[in-house]
Amino acid sequence: MPRRFGLPSLYLAAAVVTAAATAVTTAVPLMTPASGLAARPRHAEPAHPYIVTARDRAAARDLVGEVRWRVRRYYTAALPGFATVLNAAEEAELRADPRVLALEPDRAIRPAPGRAATPARTPGGRGVTVYVVDSGMDVDRFGDRAWRAFDATGGTGHDCTGHGTRAARAVAAAAPHARIASVRTLGCHGAGRLSDVLAGLDWVRRHARGPAVTSVPLDTAGSPALTTALRALVRSGVFVTATGPGACRTAPGEPAYTAAAPHLAGAAAGYLESHPGANPADLATWLKCPSVRGAIRQNPSRSSNLLLRTGGL
């Protein structure tokens, strides 16, 4: 049974951070021999946070090794890339670099509104771990089977908004015996940074051991880096549920997108108790997720069907 961690230092030690802060450039006054007066100091060009996705891991290592980039986080598993701070000239240089696949701003990520669901009776998820990537978790509500595994924000994993705890409760409702690991990526103000969510997924990719499921009830739309990270988890054999419209949809090598991501994660954990060797494609088929080749009719008589009802997490 995993131990519950309580000291902030353990989270800080586990964080995938290569440089904690952006370097600050101080302008040095320039002396002119003719006047003996200091010339007007040069103003530092404004810089903004970005996520760099490299074409492969070798390219990412090369880019991180160059001292030109102020690397804030280096991702080693979820995607080949890093978080950095760039001014306009540096941004243009990286966009033109053939080693770079994508470059996007490090934007805010918010919890996604979802649906509650009443899953059909399934096995309890015994022996399965569900990683909940959210705002943390109040572990006292779940007993010894839940713990705070990682905090990308540098805190102790405490849930100060309640969203992550509600997501974990939805998982527990569908899989009463599954282990639940909290991966905190959102802050107390209700949102998080893309770089922190990627750090959480990177941690899961490096530490998840099967059978495992990951639930990401966050607004992940529009981010190439997040799409890459979620696909990497699926390819590693971890079934991933992310928030999306509708009941459930997936495609080969993709996460399952649903408005009730935590409930679907719990249902998947229940299936994995009886089928621990099932891969993500097997789970998608069993859960009746429509594929891009055509929707599969929902059959209410099947125990695998999820009966959705409107409501909050």
pLDDT digits (tens, 9 = 90+) for 5-64: 444 443 434 443 333 333 333 333 333 333 333 344 444 679 999 999 999 999 999 999
In the numeric block, the tokens 């991501």 are attached to 261
pTM of the full structure: 0.80
Strand partners for 151 = 184
Q: What is the token pair recorded at 189?
A: 């103000």
For residue 280, say if its preceding peptide bond is cis, omega within 30 degrees of 0.
Answer: no
Q: Please tell me the distance from the alpha carbon of residue 33 to that of residue 30, in angstroms, as a whole number.
A: 10
Domains parsed from the chain with CATH numbers: 44-106 (3.30.70.80), 109-309 (3.40.50.200)
What is the total residue count of the chain? 313
Q: What is the token pair recorded at 306?
A: 């999820």
pLDDT profile of the chain (313 residues), mean per 10 = 44 39 34 36 76 97 91 96 96 96 96 68 84 96 95 94 96 95 95 97 95 95 93 96 88 92 94 94 87 37 37 40
Amino acid at 273: E
Question: Tens digit of pLDDT for each residue in 238-263?
Answer: 999 999 887 788 888 999 999 999 99
Strand intervals (E) in 98-252: 100-105, 108-109, 116-119, 129-134, 146-151, 179-184, 192-193, 212-216, 239-243
Q: Please tell me the distance from the alpha carbon of residue 233 to that of residue 216, in angstroms, as a whole number.
A: 12
3-state DSSP: the chain helix, strand, coil percent, rounded to 5? 30, 25, 45
Predicted pLDDT at 26: 32
